[in-house]
Chains A and B, each alone.
Chain A
Amino acid sequence: MSTRLGAMRAELVGAGGVVERNAYLTKRYIWWDLAWFAWTVANTLTVVFIAKGIEATGGQLDVNKTMTTLLIGGVVWAYLGILFMFLMETVAWERWEGTIEYTFMAPLSRAMHLAGQGVFAIIYGLVRAAFLFVVCAFIFFDLSMPNADYVAAFVVLVVSSVSFIGIGMMMSVLPLISPEKGPQLGFVAQGTLLVVSGVYYPVEVLPGWMQAIATISPATYALDGIREAILEGQGLTAMWDELWPLMIIGVVSIPLGLWVFSRGEQYAKRHGKLKRSG
């Protein structure tokens, strides 16, 4: 019993090590992160300004509501980008720095290794998403959200993160298979997931086959839940329709993500790809 507890403790310490490493790296690259944040703000603004543009060209719409809807889409897009980037870096950055062999030969289980990576990604991503939302909503546009339930929106984003991390684990195996092009496929996954999930529009406008895929995408429920919380002020109890699918997808996607990663790791070990040069 005490041996098992000791092993569990060692695993938690190991996962903490991954968080610690990412904290060091974030501290060292903080100015680059700020530059990237500026890009994220600019990118989100280009989307949110579309509502103003439609109004300026004679379109009839509730500008405040449309801008808020687009902003939520932009923030979720950026958040998902951060999560996937961190998980893709599980392999890609380590390969670039040459530490990959030392990390993969350490006794830390892959589940806790990826969990540590996921926990840091969520913490960092939530902070960035909150800043992005505040900067765009209140500094650039002065949007009005009198009914917003920010706590409920935050909880929906956290719950959906579990599913996103599971999908990210599946994606993070790609740099193991293709060191050169694998990391870029993270963007493909991010775009594909969001295009079927109604990132800037209602899912109902999509073709039937895309709507079918939307029902199994966690981003669909995340976007719906956050919009209901921010625009309509719905609390968590009224959001059960979004929360239970997110929980189910999360329960399925994490083990699936670990399984896919372990298959990729086996492939890399078979073909000698767990090394610096690829």
Chain B
Amino acid sequence: MIDRQEAVMEAVPVRGSSEVSQRSQGSAVEVHELRKVFTMRDRKKGRFAKRTRTALDGVTFSMKRGETVAILGQNGSGKSTLVRLLSTLLLPDGGGAEIFGHDVVAEHRAVRRLVNRVSVEASFFKKMSAAENLSYAARYYGMTSRQTRDKIPVILERVGFPSDRRDESMENLSRGMQQKVALARALLTSPVVLLLDEPTTGLDPRSKREVQEFIREIRTSHDSTILLCTHDLVEAEALAERVGILDRGRLLFLEPADDIKRRFDASTLEEAFFAATGREFEAEDDDDDREVFA
């Protein structure tokens, strides 16, 4: 009988080194002076008037292979913009980013083979079942039905999804359940870089704990590099080796949580955030446009 853990490891393989560029020189993610500006209409100033909003302003950081980094920030701080840029869904207005040496703009096809993500919204075809949603999504990554037939049940079981609900419409599942399927979808394609954009926001405490536990498990059992964007300070500190604070599009620092606290002589990350920005972490940004675009 095949050991369950073995079956899981086989079901969630790590991509071979052939797809990971030698140019990366040990860095999984390299972000250099990344800048994104959104333009929008300004009806207050006239019919054709426009204004700009800077979502990311010269963000620079790098991540080692296998590292988990958390980017903390309020709503509208630029976390989602960062994730979407690294996912090749946005074009930067300045600077650049590389995933294992592949430029996210010029080599977007290569980047897409290496990256997957889980966002705050689970996002599925709601009338389709979990198995159907995973099945067609895996095809986009070149996985045949023969390859997914056995892997989908194993991965769903691994994320704690009940096997008897595999063929049920997604619309009948709780948000926590949907988020587990989202994690399974991301893992099914064996990403070497996993982008998690507030994966536990809005989940009940139990589901949140389960998802966090699973992220911890991925971190220990796989070679995946994980970028976790969150506004949950405890989650960031618990899951990541380094924590960065993104404030109004600027990355203030990125270092181990203990170093941040030491630097600001703070006992918690919340205090450190206050010391760094002069604002309470929980206080919402007063600029509505930031939330829309960033």
Chain A interfacial positions (CB closer than 8 Å to B): 9-11, 13-14, 16-18, 20-21, 24-25, 28-29, 97-99, 101-109, 113, 266, 269-272, 274-276
Does B144 touch A at the CB level, under 8 Å? yes
B144 to chain A, nearest CB (A): 6
Chain B positions 72-131 with a Cβ under 8 Å from a chain A Cβ: 81, 84, 87-91, 109, 112-113, 115-117, 119, 121-128
Contact call B142/A99, Cβ cutoff below 8 A: no
Q: Are B128 and A272 in contact (CB under 8 A)?
A: no
Residues on B with C-beta less than 8 A from A25 are: 125, 127-128
Within 8 A of A (CB), among B120-165: 121-128, 132, 135-144
Q: Does B38 contact A (CB under 8 A)?
A: yes
Q: Give the residue name and chain of the A residue nearest to B137 (CB).
A: A102
CA distance A270 to B125 in the complex (A): 26
Contacts of A14 in B (CB 8 A): 139-142
| 26 A-B pairs whose Cβ atoms sit less than 8 Å apart in the complex | A10-B141, A10-B142, A13-B142, A17-B140, A24-B128, A24-B132, A24-B136, A25-B128, A29-B127, A98-B123, A99-B125, A101-B117, A102-B137, A104-B89, A105-B116, A105-B117, A107-B109, A107-B113, A107-B140, A266-B91, A269-B90, A269-B91, A271-B39, A272-B81, A272-B84, A274-B84
Given contacts A99-B123, A272-B293, whether A107 and B87 have CB atoms under 8 Å apart is no
CB distance from A114 to the nearest CB of B (A): 13
Contact indicator A271/B142 (Cβ below 8 Å): no
Report B's interface with A, CB cutoff 8 A.
38-39, 81, 84, 87-91, 109, 112-113, 115-117, 119, 121-128, 132, 135-144, 169, 185, 293
Question: Which of B112, B124, B125 is in CB contact (< 8 Å) with A105?
Answer: B112
Chain A positions within 8 Å of B122 at CB level: 98
Flag if A17 contacts B138 (CB, 8 Å): yes
Alpha-carbon separation in the docked complex, A140 to B293 (Å) = 55
A105 & B115 in contact (Cβ 8 Å cutoff): yes
Decide if B90 touches A272 in the complex (CB within 8 Å).
yes
Given the contacts A20-B135, A24-B125, A102-B185, A274 and B90 also touching, CB distance less than 8 Å: yes
Additional 10 contacts, C-beta under 8 A, given A21-B136, A97-B123, A107-B109: A13-B143, A25-B128, A101-B87, A101-B117, A101-B119, A102-B117, A106-B141, A107-B113, A107-B141, A275-B89
Give the residue name and chain of the B residue nearest to A6 (CB): B142
Given contacts A10-B142, A106-B112, contact A101 B89 (CB under 8 A): yes
Q: How many A-B residue pairs have CB under 8 A?
A: 104
* B123 surroundings in chain A (CB, below 8 A): 97-99, 101-102, 276
> What are the 5 tightest A-B residue pairs by CB atom distance, in nearest-first order?
A17-B139, A10-B142, A98-B123, A106-B140, A21-B136
Given known pairs A14-B139, A17-B140, the reply for A101 and B125 (CB within 8 Å) is no
A90 to B142, CA, bound (A): 19
Do A274 and B121 touch (CB < 8 A)?
Answer: no
Query: B124 contacts A20, CB within 8 Å?
Result: no
Q: Is the CB of B140 within 8 A of A101?
A: no
Assembly CA distance A103 to B137 (angstroms): 8
A15 to B181, CA, bound (A): 23
Which A residues are in CB contact (< 8 Å) with B137?
17, 102, 106
Other-chain contact of B144, A13, A24, A104 (Cβ < 8 Å): A13
User: For the complex, what is the distance from the CA of A225 to the CA of B203, rounded to whole Å?
Assistant: 59
- Say how far A17's CB is from chain B's closest CB, in angstroms: 2
Q: Which chain A residue shows the least CB distance to B169?
A: A28
Contact A16 B90 (CB under 8 A): no
Shortest CB–CB separation between residue B171 and chain A, in angstroms? Answer: 10
Q: A10-B142, A107-B113, A274-B90 are in contact. Are A97 and B135 (CB under 8 A)?
A: no
In the assembly, what is the distance between CA of A103 and CA of B112, in Å? 11
Q: Quote the shortest CB–CB distance from B6 to chain A (angstroms).
A: 26
Q: How far is the CA of A46 from the CA of B123 in the complex (A)?
A: 41
A109-B109, A269-B90 in contact; A103/B140 too (CB < 8 A)? yes
Whether A271 and B119, one on each chain, are in contact in the complex, defined by CB atoms closer than 8 angstroms, is no
Cα–Cα, bound, A106→B122 (Å): 16
Would A272 and B88 count as touching, CB distance under 8 A? no
Tell me, rounded to whole Å, the shortest Cβ–Cβ distance linking A15 to chain B.
8
With a cutoff of 8 Å between Cβ atoms, the chain A residues found around residue B89 in the complex are 101, 104-105, 269, 274-275
Query: How many Å from the CB of B97 to the closest CB on chain A?
Result: 14
Bound complex: CA of A16 vs CA of B136, how far in Å? 8
Provide the residues of chain A in CB contact with B113, threshold 8 Å. Answer: 107
CB contact between A270 and one of B87, B91, B127 (< 8 Å): that residue: B91
In contact, B136 and A17 (Cβ under 8 angstroms):
yes
Residues of B contacting A21 in the complex (Cβ-Cβ under 8 angstroms) = 125, 128, 132, 136
The reply to whether A276 and B126 form a contact with Cβ atoms under 8 Å apart is no
**Docked pose: A153 CA to B124 CA in angstroms:** 39
Distance A104 CA – B123 CA, assembled complex (angstroms): 13
CB pair A105–B87 under 8 Å, yes or no, is yes
Please measure, in the bound complex, the distance between the C-alpha atom of A179 and the C-alpha atom of B88, giving whole angstroms: 20
In the assembly, what is the distance between CA of A109 and CA of B293, in Å? 27
B136–A271 touching, CB < 8 Å: no
